[in-house]
A and B are shown apart, each in its own frame.
Chain A
């Protein structure tokens, strides 16, 4: 039984890591949830897997320690909340950039049309933090309000919140 669980946990972690290394944002989120499930199963396995042993002291016979299940319950609730939050961030990134790829976050060093010859990666000449037109879906143009983001830290960095 433990061996089976160990295999299952290994499989889940492997799938999770594979998905985590993907470029699609949603896959990254799914990968993290897989890793979370693997963690929960690991706690269950470490605490001991035993049949016919309910976590009840009033019943005669062998009984399980209920604490690991309480731990898992807490971890599930927290994992649920963080996944929801991460999905919200992913959705926001999709709205800002117009496509579901980690390239959505851009790195504004390389894609500045105004930058001079050979100065693309110069931190002193960063491009404006504009939506990425090269990678975005032609059917779905980026929302107009996001064009106001300048990405500079100066006094004017407030327009981005929609």
Chain B
């Protein structure tokens, strides 16, 4: 074990610590500074993880010094570090927006502290190496998100928030039961150990059933089609800065868990989960695209782009070949950054016209740079050539065609169709908001410069995806290669000579000490 074994714990502990620190009643500039410093530190640690895992090392920190199958471990492989970094980037932009947009009432009730707790939960979900700890991480994340959803107590927030809370609590109960079942079947909860034992057991109906239950849980968290009904109502009800982070990252936590479970842990019988993912993914893409075309409010339209992107990711995962996983990992980066950018743009647009609706027309005259940013992001979401979205979607579609099963071909058709509808919906926004002649009776409000800057920086990151598509795909390819060989993850976590727990005639006794 190298000297970096503390690193997988660092992003979580940093966010949690700064969250606790922010509970101290200080003046606003102090709180803003603390939030920014905390998020920057998290980002630095996440970048450190990315560098440390670049050569394929699996970093493990054993909590309490208990070795892997016994204690809870935090692990960072390429995928986890990748997600951690993306979440940290989005978190920084969200905190920036919150700092640029004073909201005295919500800030009085610890908006900044809750945001840090949310980041802590997200980082813990990405970096944990244990199924039950993943449940705990989800709860840390969700409790913070429940509080943020209803903070402000407008009726819309209460309505959407209550639905969101009930939905997620039901899914969490299912996750607890599934953890229990997994433990009952395989006698462990550590991801690596679960993977090892599932591999020893070979194809097994009970293990597959546990896998499908997990799929349902993570589909609910990630808003796959029938279980994602809460999303398009909830995200527009949130305050802008919080909504940005929710939209960009929270569904991706569910997607990450799906990738982790179905590429690392339950790999013995991939047929059923993959066809489920393909089927649900293709419906989700179309649902998202049609939803986008049907809405007339900025952030409602954008919430449906989130739904659609989850569909693409499920499609990539369901195809299951290393190329498809590579495209999915790359698309994760595209999706997180472009969603952050679009929500930041929507915040400025809503504030500039004083309404949520896309109907101002002619705003190109007042916000030319924002229009350029929107056009770039719209092309990225729709997947047209000069954007990173095109590269990732092209890779997805190619992987689907290469795999060639009827369900995969159906999903490819659905992906292309939904891209087309997305383009239509985005052009509708462009036509309704930026194009045309501005009606004189609609006033244009001044928006804080820092909010503009957040949108521009996020859009610059999206542009960076295009410029650095080469390194991005190299990293994604390495991640996919690592995910296609779960043995390396298992060996990285359990060590070269793992502790063998002898089967006992009664119960499953534990070794006394590692």
Please list the residues of chain A having a beta carbon within 8 angstroms of any beta carbon in chain B: 20, 25, 28, 32, 35-36, 38-40, 42-43, 46-48, 50, 53, 57, 62-65, 67-68, 71, 74-75, 78, 81-82, 85-86, 89-90, 92-93, 96-97, 102, 104-108, 123-124, 129-131, 149, 151-155, 157-162
Contacts and interface: CB of A to CB of B under 8 A. Distances in A.
Interface string B131-152: 0100110010011001100111
A115 to B, nearest CB: 15
Interface in B247-303: 295-297, 299
Contact of A63 (B156, B169, B180, B509): B509
14 contacts: A39-B177, A39-B180, A57-B509, A57-B512, A62-B507, A65-B509, A81-B143, A85-B143, A92-B150, A124-B357, A130-B155, A149-B154, A153-B356, A158-B103
Given A32-B170, A39-B176, A160-B153, A107 B159 contact: yes
B179 interface: yes
> Which of B174, B240, B354 has the most chain A CB within a 10 Å cutoff?
B354
A127 to B, nearest CB: 11
A154 B155 contact: no
B109 A161 contact: yes
A89 B356 CA distance: 26
A152 B180 contact: no
A93 B291 CA distance: 28
Contacts of B157: 160
Interface string B86-107: 0000000000000000011110
Given A38-B173, A63-B509, A71-B180, 17 more contacts: A32-B166, A39-B176, A39-B177, A42-B181, A50-B507, A63-B506, A65-B510, A68-B183, A75-B135, A96-B155, A149-B154, A154-B356, A155-B351, A158-B104, A158-B105, A160-B155, A161-B108
B169 A105 contact: no
A157 B236 CA distance: 13
Interface in B189-239: 236, 239
A106 B143 CA distance: 24
Contacts of B354: 154-155
Contact of B162 (A93, A123, A154, A159): A93
A65 to B, nearest CB: 5
Given A48-B507, A63-B507, A82 B143 contact: yes
B19 interface: no
Give the interface SS of chain B, mostly helix, strand, loop or mixed. Answer: helix
Contacts of A130: 155
B54 interface: no
Given A57-B512, A82-B139, A161-B153, A93 B158 contact: yes
B146 A129 contact: no
B6 interface: no
Contacts of B357: 124
A32 to B, nearest CB: 5
Select the residue from A47, A78, A81 with max chain B CB neighbours within 10 A. Answer: A78
Interface of B: 103-106, 108-109, 132, 135-136, 139, 142-143, 146-147, 150-159, 161-162, 165-166, 169-170, 172-174, 176-177, 179-181, 183-184, 236, 239-240, 295-297, 299, 350-351, 354-357, 359, 445, 506-510, 512
Nearest to A156: B354
Contacts of B445: 155
Contacts of B510: 65, 67
- Chain A contact residues, majority secondary structure: helix
Given A46-B181, A123-B297, A89 B162 contact: yes
Nearest to B243: A153
Contact of A160 (B154, B240, B508): B154
Contact of A75 (B158, B176, B299, B508): B176
Contacts of B296: 123-124
A130 to B, nearest CB: 8
B165 A46 contact: no
A96 B158 contact: yes
Given A93-B158, A105-B155, A152 B355 contact: yes
Nearest to B295: A123
A160 B152 contact: yes
A82 B139 CA distance: 8
B176 A43 contact: yes
B132 A129 contact: no
B143 A108 contact: no
Contacts of B350: 153-154
